[in-house]
């Protein structure tokens, strides 16, 4: 690697300045928004990849990608340049960037009162390129007080400081949730927390890359952190906070807003590989519906594992095994009649003996070998196969045609885009690139992104009036625009339960808000009763709740798998359904306002240093604190209550606690310890299936009183499935609560045209509180929906 040192100012344009580095490289510093900047190095005047699929600040990018040098959809605020003998200073309203000699940058942030240090490149070598025009490195200084978060789906502690991570999508079945790396997703986005101003850095490079966040030391340099990519472009974005929450929300706005999924996607989703692997798959799948009814377990969807496509022991995408599943259409209809949506597993690789392999190869729809005009061959599912090239419009069309004819027209409405890591290790293998050929090494994670987009558009065309639902295991930044995701094929043990929670929080901080885990564990032996109950209690508090397995001992993870604890499992699932109005509002806020659903406790309590210590709690929205039991044999749970002005209330008892202290809560096996932010109100309903909105006839607003102070909240309602909410066919109820010494005042108003099945909003106080409750100035505990006053329309 050769360090870049010598530079001269070459141009000053609207939105950026350009330096000439080492007489041959272009180094641009972009000012795109207040608090949003970007550095782009154009090596020897040419980009390795002149497009991006991750940057989508206003609307989705074109199929062929967004021009990398584009500044469209940014406001490009004014900036000032001052030149000195040894440096150049670039100043905006919120950012000040000093370009030093030799080449290294200092970043400062204006907090409204003064300039504060944000981050600095390493003065003793900040940027380096290898001699072959491929690899690159970027070094920055690190400080002892820095905490690092993000990087998408990573194992171990939430704070990544002192660790090294690799971005290289792998099918990491049975991973160790505390240490395995790399995993399925490629999100090179890291958040740095410091006292005065947190910031994020996103490296828009899809090649295999490495982040060293303090694992490496070198006596010749001050403590540093390092980003290294095997190839591609140095193109990094700096997102200034000042809060971590601000950084996360800015990253979502940069890479695309979260898809608003249908309401039923929040229900329990059944799944297991056992059913579709069985010789009588259709019979076992129908029996699952009977068992749900028998055990009174609500279920709104089922994920159809890939065994339905098998020939022998192998899987062949879009190939129905009619010996296992004699009548797919009848199966889908039976599920639909039961109010359960089917979601079919599909894979982007055709094994070499796939019945349609020759057809696809003849039409050149596979990724091509680097040296020969033949399909590239990779190891896949105990054989070799070739991956579809989703940068080829013909391959996209073939895929969408099969999604439609083999799934949608049979009544299977949704896709589970799986095994899409695209483990093609011939880096020079060729992709069609929508007419401009690209080596796979530059866009490997994008293949998963385009695969899920192809599936999404097929579903949208087939059912244009319904919001689509999709899942994808792999992907890159921007995948939240298309899918829900999960943490992949985890292993059954207590350690996974503990660290999967942190993985989900890391994904959430990285812009993936709609996440979950395989409850009970995917690989390994079946969970024992205690572990299973605790895992279900944790899982029901995630946006995605799926019990899924491929147990090594041939068993099946199902809600009723341990009769002695089925009641406790049922109670946990029913708690989720009762909280569905709250969950659904969070889902809407994630899409509408870029608010994370899962939140580490520090996200809303940065003023409380204790919340930054590694812990096993998390926030569900702003108001519910989830304290899952993750230790075997535990029957009580110590919880740190984040410091706030209104305290915390026990969900079960209504007991009030002051914030800023440890408390010990009872945690018998049948109870999930939960707390609610003091003064908040949680909307709830009855336990029923979500696919029949006519059953949703009760709505309660449960108030968790605080001794004093004020609070506010919102409830979102619509038909749960259509796009009509965009045109005002929704109901948004907003409220404020004020707590006085002898009164509680609830002020409530509504907007929107939608009218749900429920007609009355019941209001209840949790726990013993003698203060008078007034609703819109009147005494009472109930309010008819028709009597809630109208509020001005939302903007």
CATH of the domain at 784: 2.60.40.1180
Judgement on whether residues 359 and 409 belong to the same structural domain of the protein: yes
Taking Cα atoms as reference points, which of 539, 526, 540, 517 lies closest to residue 493?
Answer: 526
Judgement on whether residues 502 and 572 belong to the same structural domain of the protein: yes
- Residues near 307 by Cβ (< 8 Å), separated by ≥ 6? 273, 275, 276, 277, 278, 281, 315, 321, 324
Cα dihedral 634, 638, 642, 648 sign: positive
Number of domains comprising the chain? 3
Q: What is the DSSP letter of 789?
A: P
Judgement on whether residues 400 and 427 belong to the same structural domain of the protein: yes
pLDDT given at position 792: 61
Omega before residue 182 within 30° of 0, cis: yes
In a domain, 557, yes or no: yes
In a domain, 422, yes or no: yes
Q: pLDDT tens-digit profile of 765-793?
A: 998 899 999 999 998 788 999 999 998 65
Give the CA count within 13 Å in the CB-facing half-sphere of 650: 18
Q: Is 692 helix (H, G, I), strand (E, B) or coil?
A: coil
In a domain, 704, yes or no: yes
Judgement on whether residues 337 and 446 belong to the same structural domain of the protein: yes
| Tokens standing for residue 451 | 């695969």
pLDDT given at position 793: 52
Q: Is 163 helix (H, G, I), strand (E, B) or coil?
A: coil
Judgement on whether residues 721 and 751 belong to the same structural domain of the protein: yes
Judgement on whether residues 569 and 593 belong to the same structural domain of the protein: no
Residue pointed to by tokens 């949730």: 177
Domain extent, residue 659, equals 583-795
Judgement on whether residues 248 and 279 belong to the same structural domain of the protein: no
Q: Check: CB of residue 415 under 8 Å from CB of residue 459.
A: yes
Residue-wise DSSP of 386-438:
EEB-TTSHHHHHHHHHHHHHHTGGGT--EEEE-S-S-----TT-EE-GGGS-E
Q: Which helix (H) or strand (E) holds 711?
A: strand 709-717
Q: How many whole angstroms separate alpha carbon 407 and alpha carbon 468?
A: 14
Taking Cα atoms as reference points, which of 555, 562, 554, 485 lies closest to residue 517?
Answer: 485
Judgement on whether residues 319 and 345 belong to the same structural domain of the protein: yes
The pair phi, psi for residue 99, each rounded to 5°, is -100, 115
Parts of the chain with a pLDDT under 70: 792-795
Q: How many whole angstroms separate alpha carbon 103 and alpha carbon 441?
A: 29
Q: Check: CB of residue 227 under 8 Å from CB of residue 209.
A: yes
E strand intervals along 22-122: 25-33, 36-42, 51-52, 66-67, 80-83, 87-91, 95-100, 104-110, 115-120
Judgement on whether residues 391 and 499 belong to the same structural domain of the protein: no
First to last CA, the chain: 51
Q: pLDDT tens-digit profile of 623-658?
A: 999 999 999 999 999 999 999 999 999 999 999 999
Judgement on whether residues 425 and 529 belong to the same structural domain of the protein: no
Taking Cα atoms as reference points, which of 49, 544, 25 lies closest to residue 261?
Answer: 544
Tell me which of 468, 483, 498 is where a domain ends: 483
Rg (CA), the chain: 27
pLDDT given at position 794: 43
pLDDT given at position 773: 95
Q: How many residues does the chain have?
A: 795
Q: Which helix (H) or strand (E) holds 494?
A: helix 494-509
- Please state, in angstroms and as integers, the Cα–Cα distance from residue 106 to each residue in 98, 116, 557, following that order: 5, 11, 53
């Amino acid at each position: 690697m050769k360090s870049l040192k010598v530079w001269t100012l070459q141009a000053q344009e609207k939105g950026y300045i350009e330096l000439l580095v080492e007489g041959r490289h272009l180094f641009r510093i972009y000012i795109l928004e207040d608090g949003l900047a970007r550095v782009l190095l154009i090596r020897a005047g040419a980009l390795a990849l002149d497009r991006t699929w991750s940057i989508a600040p206003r609307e989705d990018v074109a199929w062929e990608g967004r021009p990398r040098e584009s500044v469209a959809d940014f406001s490009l605020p004014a900036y000032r340049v001052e030149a000195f003998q040894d440096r150049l200073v670039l100043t905006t309203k919120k950012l000040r960037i000093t370009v030093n000699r030799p080449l290294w940058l200092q970043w400062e942030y204006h907090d409204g009162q003064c300039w504060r240090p944000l981050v600095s490149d390493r003065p003793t070598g900040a940027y380096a390129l290898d001699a072959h025009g491929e690899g690159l490195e970027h070094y920055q200084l690190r400080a002892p007080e820095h905490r690092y978060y993000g990087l998408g789906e990573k194992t171990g502690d939430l704070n990544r400081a002192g660790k090294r991570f690799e971005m290289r999508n792998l099918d990491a079945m049975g991973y160790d949730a505390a240490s395995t790396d790399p995993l399925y997703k490629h999100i090179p986005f890291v958040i740095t927390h410091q006292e005065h101003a947190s910031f994020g850095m996103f490296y828009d490079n899809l090649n295999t890359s490495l982040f060293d966040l303090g694992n490496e030391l070198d006596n010749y340099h001050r403590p540093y952190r390092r980003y290294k990519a095997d190839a591609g472009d140095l193109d990094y974005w700096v997102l200034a906070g000042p809060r971590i929450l601000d950084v996360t929300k800015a990253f979502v706005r940069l890479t695309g807003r979260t898809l608003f999924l249908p309401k039923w996607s929040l229900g329990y989703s059944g799944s297991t590989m056992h059913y579709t692997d069985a010789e009588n798959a259709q019979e076992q799948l129908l029996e699952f519906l009977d068992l749900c009814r028998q055990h009174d377990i609500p279920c709104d969807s089922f994920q159809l594992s890939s065994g339905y496509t098998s020939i022998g022991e192998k899987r062949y995408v879009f190939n129905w095994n009619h010996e296992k599943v004699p009548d797919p259409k009848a199966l889908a209809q039976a599920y639909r009649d039961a109010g359960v949506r089917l979601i079919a597993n599909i894979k982007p690789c055709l094994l070499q003996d796939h019945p349609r392999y020759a057809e696809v190869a003849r039409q050149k729809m596979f990724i091509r070998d680097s040296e020969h005009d033949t399909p590239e061959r990779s190891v896949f599912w105990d054989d070799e196969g070739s991956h579809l090239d989703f940068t080829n419009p013909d391959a996209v069309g073939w895929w969408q045609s099969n999604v439609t004819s083999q799934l949608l027209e049979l009544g299977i409405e949704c896709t589970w885009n799986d095994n899409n890591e695209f483990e093609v290790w011939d880096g020079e293998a060729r992709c069609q690139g929508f007419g401009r050929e690209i080596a796979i090494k530059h866009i490997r994670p994008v293949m998963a992104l385009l695969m899920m987009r192809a599936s999404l558009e097929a579903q949208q065309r087939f059912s244009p009036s319904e919001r689509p639902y999709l899942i994808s295991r792999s992907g890159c930044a921007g995948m939240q625009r298309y899918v829900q995701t999960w943490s992949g094929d985890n292993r059954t043990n207590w350690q996974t339960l503990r660290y999967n929670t942190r993985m989900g929080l890391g994904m959430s901080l990285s812009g993936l808000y709609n996440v979950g885990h395989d409850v009970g564990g995917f690989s390994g032996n079946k969970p024992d009763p205690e572990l299973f109950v605790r895992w279900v209690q944790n899982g029901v508090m995630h946006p995605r709740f799926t019990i899924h397995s491929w147990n090594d001992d041939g068993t099946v993870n199902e809600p009723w798998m341990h009769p002695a604890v089925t009641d406790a499992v049922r109670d946990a699932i029913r708690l989720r359904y009762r909280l569905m109005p709250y969950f659904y509002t969070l889902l809407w806020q994630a899409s509408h306002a870029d608010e994370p659903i899962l939140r580490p406790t520090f996200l809303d309590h940065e003023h409380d240093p204790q919340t930054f210590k590694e812990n096993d709690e998390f926030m569900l929205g702003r108001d519910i604190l989830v304290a899952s039991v993750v230790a075997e044999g535990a029957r009580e749970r110590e919880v740190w209550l984040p410091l706030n002005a209104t305290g915390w209330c026990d969900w079960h008892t209504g007991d009030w606690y002051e914030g800023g202290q440890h408390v010990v809560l009872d945690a018998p096996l049948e109870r999930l310890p939960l707390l609610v932010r003091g003064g908040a109100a949680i909307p709830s309903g009855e336990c029923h299936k979500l696919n029949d909105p006519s059953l949703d006839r009760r709505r309660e607003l449960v108030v968790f009183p605080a001794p004093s102070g004020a609070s506010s909240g919102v409830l979102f309602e619509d038909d749960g499935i259509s796009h009509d909410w965009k045109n005002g066919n929704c109901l948004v109820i907003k409220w404020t609560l004020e707590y006085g010494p002898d009164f509680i005042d609830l002020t409530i108003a509504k907007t929107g045209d939608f009218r749900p099945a429920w007609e009355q909003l019941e209001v209840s106080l949790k726990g013993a509180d003698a203060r008078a409750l007034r609703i819109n100035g009147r005494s009472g505990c109930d309010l008819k929906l028709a009597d809630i006053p109208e509020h001005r329309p939302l903007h």
